[in-house]
Structure 1
Amino acid sequence: MHLRSLLFFLILIAAGVVDVSASVDFEKCFAEIRSGIHGQTGGTDNQGNPVTGVNENTTSITYDFCVRACGSGGGAFSWSAFSQQFSAWLLPWLALLSQFPFGSRYRWDNLMSVILALGSPCLAGYSLVLTVLNANWVARRFANIKYPNAQHAALVLSSLQQIPLKVTTETGLLASLVVLPENDPWWKELVEQLDYADIHTWTIAGVTSIAWVVIAYALTIIDAFSTISTDPNSNGQGLSGVGSIWLWMLPVTIGYLQLSPRCDAERVTKALNRANKLSYIASPDGAVNADMVSDMRALSSHPYRESIHRDHEATAPIYNYARFLPFVQIVEEFASAFHYASENARKHIPVNRDAPWERGDGTTIHPANRQGSGAQVEAYCTAPSYVRRSHWGPSIFSRFAIASLAALALQWSTSGASIVIVYFTPTLMVSLGLGCRSAAYLLYAALATFVWALLVASSLLGHYAATRTDDRAPGLAQYAAVFLRRCAKVVAALNAAWILAAFFLQFGNFFDRCYCNSDVLGLGGRAHNVMLLEGSDISAMKAAWVGGVVLAVVPSGLFLIFINMLIDPVLGLSL
């Protein structure tokens, strides 16, 4: 892409937005060109090769000839055409956004979650896959632990991925929650409180929105192939634009409806607080209610105050990118405590080592084996001194890599489908062939990926800053994390506004001008405007459209299948 051409393109957009009165009747202009009114120099074939003379059989002209004969303005704006395309191609997708899960405490965080999804489909897919992979990992992490409430712990932790959590190990709070039989009601109460019925799951409204989008996309495909014409600039508008570039919304929306994330900040916090009233802590005089000791609890909702943790507190699932590493550390705290308690129980070692091991009924551990002082309970769940746990967590790279690859594939398959369709719609390309429409979609996809990369880098730096205090590096990492996060949100907002503006410009015929129709951005001096498609052109264009549809639909379907393969109720993912 030539820099001067790109700058000229941006200037044209600004000029078009300001001056909407100038319009070109290309049908009339092309008829005049073929009649010879504008001269005999500037004709080409549909591959951009010069031809001798201009007559009624001329099918293409150079960009300079197009501007000289027709002017630099765009096609006439038609409100009826604009409203029809907006309602048929764009409105169903915008309506589908209402089915995204929200639940953050602050409205701004909910609004920003929509902006982030629109501005970076890659981030939306990444957070969804991370959520499923984390839940699957948690269930497997606890699957072989044979101790009371271990499966309850896996279920609770998987369901609390959207909540900013704090684990307190001081004074034996966590160990008491794991070991003491008096805390069995705590686990049961929290599971019941999180199993509320009106969660974000399948509803008539959700099914209707999804069906509306599927039907609209199917009709877009049918319309594109059934109304294909010899006019190259009227083909593939809806198919290449909204119809394919936002197809990622379908698997992401369906995935979240199947997951039913517990992301209502107020409700989940109340559930935790209600369960925590039942928590007990070990003391020299036996188990006592935690309220009698302090206000601290082993597991609680933790509203962060520092700027670095801003996205941790937002409970909309798209912010799970920020909670990934802290969540892994919380799970490891619980899993470690349960693991060593289970290992001691397997060896028939009671919490109070001075007491004999009481045999239970063969399926559960006798409550007497789970009693002891605070020091004994804490020692029962503590790892040996030689065990060192990573600040990052186990298996994080594999989950990060899988989530990244899946999200990038979803992003670039849908965006790439739109680019392919318009790229191979004549003007037929003999070189780079990047035009206004394809450049708009390519810019959107590139910025969406950039936003994802910035936020992932921000989360890594933020976790490093939160877990290291040995030198000045964590302070620098904290500032960098906040800076990258804020930059990413600004770019995401601009990118969301850009893709909406690109659709409006497309529906308003702004792109229907000599500059865009000649693909000057990519072809440069060889730019030419195809006035009439030939049979071979239409055949090649149809093949490209079929390829674009397949490129959008198949990876989106595979993404959804991948999500469903990871959702396994046996592992305790769903309440």
Structure 2
Amino acid sequence: MSLLATMSTPMAHFWLVLTFLPLCVIASEDFTQCFNETRSGLHGLEGLLTNKGVPTRNLSQATAMTYAKCIETCGGGGGAFSWSSFSQQFSAWLLPWLALLSQFPFGSPHRWDNLLSVFLSLGSPCLAAYSITLTVLNTKWVVRRFSVTKYPNNDWAVLMLSSLQHMPLKVTALSEEGWPLLSSLVVLPENDDWWVKVEDKLGYSDLHTWSIASIFSIVWVVIAYVLTVVDAFTTVSTDPNSNGQGLSGVGSIWLWMIPVTVAYLQLSPRCDYERVSKALHEANELAYATGPNGVVPVSDITDERAFSIHNHAKHQALYADQEATAPIYNYARFLPFVHVVEDVAGAFDAATKRAHNRLSVSGARWEPGDGRKIHSANRRGTADEVEAYCTQPPRVRQSHWGAGVFTRFLIASVSGLGLQWATTGASVAIVYFTPTVGMGCRSGAYLVYGGAATLVWFMMVVSSFLAHYATSYTPRAQQSPSEWTAEHLSILLRRFAKTLATLNAAWIVVAFMLQFANFYDRCYCNADVLGLGRRAHIVMVLLPSDISNMTSSWGGGVALGIIASAVWWGWINVLRDPLPQN
């Protein structure tokens, strides 16, 4: 599907709603009058039921009727459309949640990627939660990975790598001329200022973090949800079709937005492509390397740098999501980031072991330091000596996937899917147990949303693993048939997933708008034909026992959504390890 077609999808659905609204007015049915006439016996005794679906010819017990009788007596149209009710529900129940999307971090170099990140978040909450969890787990892993290394600038490396998770970071160990770039950054004392400069530049003051606007946006949503819950429980009616509309839909299915937004604000991701690129460029002006004439500025011997932002001029389609820096795209950078960390940590490992054995870079006698720092004389040498000092002995080649990748993947998957289905499941349960009990249009719409969101996540994750497999250590000119297939399948899956996410985001908004317009208030939806089939029936009036069971189910659904959201947010905070303090 083309970008133009994808972008026009939400607008197409919007016009679909506008098309339905006049139909709701023209073909509206007066169900209150129909129910009263039916319960009075005006339309005969055939098709009358109790609320449990048991046939009865006793009008005093006839509180429900079959779907066929509803069509016969009430008609197949929907309830009357009320603009005042529609606008009130839209502004009170839906608008606050849509406004909260503006608090999500962006920063990609292309506006389309930023816009698409909104569709991806709304169309697949589990992908957003999955990417956030990966970010936290990666930071935790980086801290632990460097905990065994004790060489100058070790802690600065942890801070820098953790901050640059949202960038397509590239590490160059040797320049094309053979000069040691990464090893020089690790070993040479002249590069101590480089590490400080990078972290200083990355800590720009107006990060995506707490502000008056973000706090008020979250508070506004919380208040709107609380009012929705209070409204649902205090206005319980004997008319089953007027109960829990806001609570079952917008009030619960989007609860995931609150912990996700708070997590973004806590993590304060450095995802502004322009600023991070500028910060790294300015710091690289201070970089030194051991060149042909001793220690010289890197700019004097090569245009390459040890750390840079990857720009894949070729095969852009494969790397598009890696280069999109909005945090939700971290799913695509997960595996490449692991290899970047391993390359840097490996250099620090080798230097740490040699320093521990009192071996200087040049091989000269070890000069004792002050007990806290390694003497600068021990950190200088020729280009070959510097490179050798940070090179580990040959060993069995590690997995192409990276260390601990699958454990972090499983944890992040459970985290993302758990939050997605706890909030979606809460919404489905609320509307499912609102009489008529069963799977209907509303609960079916929410299940479609949750299923599509999960499918988007699955395809995105599979595409990231296929992309990593396709970019193995084999030169692209020698790409095997399996790697070629993996590359093109990855691109296809990602494009299809983005299209589906856009459609799913539009679908859930349209589903709510149709609900507010009383489009679902019709015999087919109220009888839960979708789930009950031939046993489909409409409850005309709620009995005290029905109200009690219904409100209990509502309480369980509300509790599930709130507790799951709180637990997920707490889990993210438990996973966060404190970064080193320099």
Indicate the TM-score class for this superposition, using the shorter chain for normalisation: over 0.9
Cα offset for 1:231? 0.7
Match of 1:181 among 186, 189, 194: 189
Match of residue 108 from structure 1? 112
* Pair 1:335 & 2:345 matched: yes
- Shift of the alpha carbon at 1:144? 2.4
* Distance in structure 2 (CA, Å) of the matches to 1:57 and 1:346: 88
SS in 2 for 1:297: coil
> Which residue of 2 is the match for residue 301 of structure 1?
309
Q: Alpha-carbon deviations, 1:378-428, whole Å to 9, x = none? A: 111111112423211111111111100011110000000000000100013
Whether the 8 Å contact between 2:50 and 2:61 is mirrored in structure 1 is no
Maintained 8 Å contact 2:21/2:517? no
What is aligned with 1:37? 42
Q: Secondary structure at the match of 2:180?
A: helix
Q: Distance in 2 between matches of 1:13 and 1:278?
A: 58
Once superposed, which parts of structure 1, at least 4 consecutive aligned residues long, lie more than 6 Å away?
12-15
- Note the C-alpha offset of 1:36: 2.1
Aligned to 1:119: 123
Q: Which residue of 2 aligns with 1:203?
A: 211
Q: 1:283 offset after TM fit, Å?
A: 2.1
Question: Is 1:559 the equivalent of 2:568?
Answer: yes
Q: In structure 1, what is the equivalent of residue 517 of structure 2? A: 508
Structure 1 Cα separation of the partners of residues 398 and 191 of structure 2: 26
**Aligned partner of 1:311: which letter?**
D
Number of equivalenced pairs: 556
Write the deviation string for residues 353-373 of structure 1: whole angstroms up to 9, x where unpaired: 1x1111110110011111011
| Residue of structure 1 in register with 2:456 after alignment | 451
Alignment partners' CA distance in 2, 1:268 and 1:175: 23
Deviates more, 1:275-284 or 1:96-105: 275-284
Structure 2 residue 475 is matched with structure 1 residue 466: no
Is 1:154–2:158 an aligned residue pair? yes
Q: Is the contact made by 1:105 and 1:314 (CA closer than 8 Å) also made in structure 2?
A: yes
Q: Which residue of 1 is the match for residue 392 of structure 2?
A: 383
Matched, 1:568 2:577: yes
> Residues 210-225 of structure 1 correspond to what in structure 2 (within 5 A)?
210-225=218-233
Amino acid at match of 1:166: K
Q: In 2 relative to 1, CA 172–387 (structure 1 residues): closer, same or farther, beyond 3 Å?
A: farther
Q: CA deviation at 1:14?
A: 12
What is the identity, as a one-letter code, of the residue corresponding to 1:249? M
- Counterpart check, 1:550 vs 2:559: yes
Return the letter of the residue paired with 2:440.
G
Is residue 180–residue 387 contact of structure 2 (8 Å, CA) maintained in 1?
A: yes
Distance 1:359 1:389 in 2: 36
Structure 2 residue aligned with 1:315: 325
1:352 aligns with 2:357: no
Percent of aligned pairs sharing the same letter:
59
Structure 1-normalised TM-score? 0.95
Q: What is the CA-CA distance between 1:37 and the residue it aligns to?
A: 2.3
Partner SS, residue 65 of structure 2 = strand
- Asked if the contact 1:285/1:373 (under 8 Å) is kept, the reply is no
Structure 2's unaligned 5+ residue stretches are: 1-15
Q: Which residue of 2 aligns with 1:4?
A: none
Tell me how far apart the structure 2 counterparts of residues 336 and 89 of structure 1 sit (CA, whole Å). 52
Match of 2:262 among 241, 254, 262: 254
Aligned mate of 2:416, from 407, 410, 418: 407
Distance in 1 between residues matched to 2:392 and 2:485, nearest whole Å = 32
1:96 corresponds, among 100, 122, 127, to: 100
Q: Does residue 1:370 correspond to 2:374, yes or no?
A: no
Amino acid at match of 1:156: M
1:390-401 → structure 2 map (5 Å cutoff): 390-401=399-410
State yes or no: 1:69 paired with 2:73: yes
Q: Which moved more, 1:523-532 or 1:386-395?
A: 386-395
Give the counterpart letter for 2:520 in structure 1. Answer: F
**Matched residue SS, 1:474:** helix
The residue identity in structure 1 corresponding to 2:354 is N
1:497 aligns with 2:506: yes
Q: Distance in 2 between matches of 1:424 and 1:134?
A: 41
Contact 2:143 2:577 (8 Å CA) reproduced: no
Q: Per the alignment, in what secondary structure is the counterpart of residue 36 of structure 1?
A: coil
> Does structure 2 retain, via aligned residues, the 8 Å contact 1:140–1:571?
no
Check whether the contact 2:159–2:579 (CA below 8 A) recurs between aligned residues: no
Quote the offset at 1:471 in angstroms: 2.1
Contact 1:229-1:235 within 8 A present in 2 as well: yes
Question: Which deviations, in whole Å up to 9, do the C-alpha atoms of 1:29-68 show, x marking residues without a partner?
Answer: 1111122222220100111111125x36521000000000
Give the superposition deviation at 1:256.
Answer: 0.6
Shift of 1:104: 0.8
1:320 maps to a residue whose letter is N
Kindly indicate whether the alpha-carbon contact (under 8 Å) linking 2:361 and 2:380 is maintained by their aligned counterparts in 1: yes
Q: Which secondary structure state, in structure 1, belongs to the residue aligned with residue 538 of structure 2?
A: strand
Whole-angstrom distance in 2 between the partners of 1:151 and 1:227: 58
Equivalent residue number for residue 168 of structure 2: 164
* Distance (Å, rounded) in 2 between the aligned partners of 1:567 and 1:223: 37
Structure 1 unaligned segments of length 5 or more: list them: 1-11
Match of 1:134 in 2: 138
Deviations 1:266-317 (A, max 9, x none): 0000000000011111124311111111110000011223210000111100
Residues 230-254 of structure 1 show CA distances to partners (whole Å, capped at 9, x for unaligned) of: 1101111111100100000000000
